[in-house]
Amino acid sequence: MKYLKQFAIIIVISFIGELLNYCLPFPIPASIYGMVILFIGLITGIIRLEWVKETGLFLIEIMPIMFIPICVGLMDAWGNIAPIWFPVVFICAITTVIVMAITGRTAESILRRDKKKEVHHE
Query: What pLDDT band is residue 80 in, cutting at 50, 70 and 90?
Result: confident
Q: At what angle do helices 30-44 and 2-23 cross, to 10 degrees?
A: 120
* Residue percentage of the chain with pLDDT more than 70: 98
| Among candidate residues 61, 96, 89, 91, the one with its CA nearest the CA of residue 74 | 89
* Distances from the Cα of 35 to the Cα of 31, 44, 60, 89, angstroms: 6, 14, 13, 27
Per-chain mean pLDDT for the chain: 91
Q: What is the pLDDT of residues 11-50, one digit of tens each?
A: 999 999 999 999 999 999 999 999 999 999 999 999 999 9
Provide the phi-psi class of 26: left if phi over 0, else alpha when psi is between -120 and 50, else beta. Answer: beta
- Claim: this prediction has a pTM higher than 0.75: no
* pLDDT above 90: residue 118: no
* pLDDT above 80: residue 119: no
Is residue 27 within 8 Å of residue 2, measured between CB atoms? no
Determine the pLDDT at residue 23.
95
* pLDDT above 80: residue 92: yes
Domain positions in the chain: 1-61, 73-122
- Rounded to whole angstroms, the Cα distance separating 120 from 63 reads 41
Residues written for the chain: 122
